[in-house]
Amino acid sequence: MNLNGEFQPIIIADSLGSYLSTLVEDIPKPLLTICNRPLLFYQLDLFEKAGFDNVIILSQELTKQSLQQYVAEQYSGKLSIQLYLLEAQLGIAQTLLKLRDTSKKQFIVTSGDLIIEPKFIHTMLDYHLEKEATVTIALKENAPESSDHTSKALRYGDIIGIEAETGSNKLLMIVSSDEYADTPLRVAHHLIDCFPSIKLRRNIIDTQFYIFSRFALDILEKYKMIKNLKHEFIPLLLHCQYRPQLTKGIQNENMLSSALKMSSAKLSDTGVYCLAHILDRKIYCIRVDTVSNFLEANRDLAAGNKYFVPLEPAHYKSFVAKSASISKKTRIGDQCVVGDASKLGDFCTLKSSVVGKHCTICNNVKIINCVIMDHVTIKENCKLVNTVVCSNAYINEKSILKDSVVGYRCTVEGSVEHDHATLSVHSEL
């Protein structure tokens, strides 16, 4: 397979993320750090390790300059990177359609908040080519429960319907859990008529890693009102499999061979084939789309036993920068990262946490399962548990924070306790 001749990787590096809003007040979401490296690094690293030599990044006008600066000054990989403006009025789908005119390749499109091991890619690409799929979607089983209670969909995952034929993995439907949690699950009559035997699977997460064929983009050309991939374009392609009128007048070059391979006369009516690629459970995969997932990703990668090892030198079972200053009276547990020029005073405890660069942590501070971003000061006798502290925040002495978020440049008063709180410069402390 000619990887670079057949496929074009595209990263959707938008800054939208309502569940992460406090974390991205001062920084674009693609540059939000996981283990002291920006999210964007992980997608670039993914495609480089998979063997690609170039990638397109779609960015909004608001974040384009910051991303250009990162690529020019900090990114040290081998990929050739092109930044392309994601026009708000067009949306992601129509922006892809514009890119189609500049390339004859199939598109690999991934969300900018995905962290995933690269070893799945070649299997997925081979599967996509073998089945001559219109779209192939990477799906993850066993969605983790969310502790922040922001969305039923995040807690329980989606329901998918797959053709029951053995080995088919033909994806027929995806239903978000917020659509079925309080109402009966409904299945379209047209779908049942064409595919009377459907296997339902629950607790599935759409990783938003997609492979689109040229035929998929030809279909999109007919529906220029579609802007969103997950909620509009993917459902359209799913419906096209059992509603031939949706693709009337659109010619699929691989239609005949696809029909022969799938041995299904029904499929030859449209030539559309949506393929589910269920990831092996051993593949590390997480979307950093909630605060709880942000904490989990930092904790997982700080262990150093996934596919990724932190930049900082190993220090027993943690990773500590050479320029960090840590008191001999301080205890650092497993799964910890301490960034450049950070200082930890006497009698501190650090467990399953990431500390960014240029932080000052004073005496007798306990930090458990937290992320402390750059230039943070934490005064004496504080305790933080399951908490994110954003850059340039200042936490006064004897503060206790549990399951909370402290925003950019926020100052927390001393001798207070916050539980499940979101604190920012706009909030009343």
pLDDT, one tens digit per residue, over 75-104 is 999 999 999 998 878 889 999 999 988 888
The predicted structure's pLDDT at residue 270: 72
Long-range contacts from 100-103, C-beta under 8 angstroms, 24+ separation: 100/214, 100/217, 103/8
Statement: residue 251 has pLDDT above 80: no
- What pLDDT sits at residue 269? 59
Domain match, 53 and 162 both: yes
Indicate if the pLDDT at residue 279 is higher than 60. Answer: yes
Rounded-to-integer distance, Cα 301 and Cα 143, Å: 19
User: Using one digit for the tens of pLDDT, what is the confidence trace for 98-134?
Assistant: 998 888 899 999 999 999 999 999 999 999 999 999 9
Domain count across the chain: 2
Q: What is the pLDDT of residue 156?
A: 57
295: closest CA among 384, 168, 208, 362?
A: 384
Residue written as token pair 């034929």: 165
| Whether residues 129 and 206 fall in one domain | yes
- On whether both 91 and 18 belong to a single domain, the answer is yes
Position 46 confidence tier, pLDDT thresholds 50, 70, 90: very high
The answer, yes or no, to whether residue 257 has pLDDT greater than 70, is no
Tokens 């390339």, residue located: 103
Burial of residue 313, with CB atoms counted within 10 A of its CB: 0-12 exposed, 13-18 middle, 19 or more buried: exposed
140 and 47 part of one domain: yes
pLDDT of the residue at 168: 80
Could you tell me if 241 and 276 lie in one domain? yes
Residue 299, in any domain of the structure: no
In a domain, 303, yes or no: no
Whether residue 131 sits in one domain with residue 66: yes
pLDDT interval class at 2 (50, 70, 90): confident
When pLDDT is averaged across residues 339-346 and rounded to a whole number, the result is 97
What pLDDT, in 10s, does the model give residues 205-241?
A: 999 999 999 999 999 999 989 999 999 999 999 999 9
Asked if residue 285 lies in contact with residue 146, where contact means CB atoms within 8 angstroms, the answer is: no
| Banded model confidence at residue 348, pLDDT cuts 50, 70, 90 | very high
Residue 53 in domain:
yes
Residue 16: what pLDDT? 60
Domain for residue 294, yes or no?
A: no
- Does one domain contain both 186 and 61? yes
| pLDDT for res 397 | 97
Q: Contacts from 261-268 at CB under 8 Å and sequence distance 24+?
A: 261/130, 261/131, 261/132, 262/131, 262/168, 262/170, 266/194, 266/195, 266/242, 267/241
Indicate whether 133 belongs to any domain. Answer: yes
* Whole-prediction pTM: 0.90
Does 236 map to a domain?
yes
What pLDDT was estimated at residue 142? 72
Domain that residue 116 falls in: 3-287
For residue 385, is it within any domain? yes
- Residues 216, 314: one domain? no
CATH code, 152:
3.90.550.10
> Domain boundary residue among 239, 254, 287?
287
* Same domain for 398 and 277: no
Regarding whether 159 and 39 lie in a shared domain, the answer is yes
Confidence check: pLDDT of 290 > 50? yes
- Are 59 and 207 within one domain? yes
Q: What are the pLDDT digits (tens) for 368-390?
A: 999 999 999 999 999 999 999 99
Using 50, 70 and 90 to split pLDDT, how confident is the model at 181?
Answer: low
